[in-house]
Amino acid sequence: MGYTFVLGGARSGKSSFAEQLALRISEIHSMNVTYVATAQASDDEMEERIQRHRLGRPPHWYTAEIPLDVSSWLQTERTPQVILLDCLSLLLNNWMFLEGCDEEQVLTRIDALVAAMAESEHRVIVVSNEVGQGIVPGDGVSRRYRDWLGVMNQKMAQCAEKVIWVVAGIPVDLRKLQVSLP
């Protein structure tokens, strides 16, 4: 079963759209929703963000806090459900800064995650930030993060059944706009 990849900038409305989509799919197919959270409460402001997100979700949704190994978690989940993974940009952050992954390790984890998504029998919605449209970051760590997230987003989009770009709260189906080479 294919997955849906939802992409957008900061405060674009991508998470809200993904949550509405998960709710709608769960209603249509009478399935439970599991919200896979990758965020870590690294400071008071982040703790407040996490709490706001929790309170904004329907109370009957299950939350799984999976900050590092989402691919293994996906492979062990057996009960059919809607899975909302929010978000890849924080997952990459965790790989880089909690685990100190180098490029080879990051690329291996990206490939494992894409494979787990492609093989999943669940209805999966994946959220990520698009960070490559701004200026080139001034330091090496930020450039690596931007580059690796760009690679992750490309690989996720290539294998996704649907790719939705959210701008100013408006979702756009990129597969319908996709241009093929002659």
Selected catalytic residue, list 29, 53, 60, 122: 53
Q: Is 100 annotated as a binding residue?
A: no
Q: Are 150 and 157 in contact (CB under 8 A)?
A: no
- Amino acid identity, residue 46? M
Contact indicator for 162, 156 with CB cutoff of 8 Å: no
Tell me if 161 is assigned to a ligand binding site.
no
Is-contact 127 157, C-beta < 8 A? no
Residue 139 marked in a binding site: no
132 in a labelled binding site: no
Question: Would the annotation count 140 as a binding residue?
Answer: no
Q: How many other C-beta atoms can be found within 10 angstroms of the C-beta atom of residue 179? A: 5
**Residue carrying structure tokens 């293994």:** 72
Whole-angstrom distance, CA of residue 6 vs CA of residue 95: 21
39 assigned to a ligand binding site: yes
- For residue 101, is the peptide bond before it cis, meaning its omega torsion is within 30 degrees of 0? no
Q: How far is CA 155 from the centre of its chain?
A: 12
The reply, when asked if residue 26 is annotated as ligand binding, is no
Q: Is 8 annotated as a binding residue?
A: yes
**Residue 175 annotated as binding?**
no
Query: Is position 53 annotated as part of the catalytic site?
Result: yes
Residue stretches of the annotated binding site = 8-15, 37-39, 54-57, 65, 86
Write out the catalytic residue numbers: 53
Residue stretches of the annotated binding site for GTP = 8-15, 37-39, 54-57, 65, 86
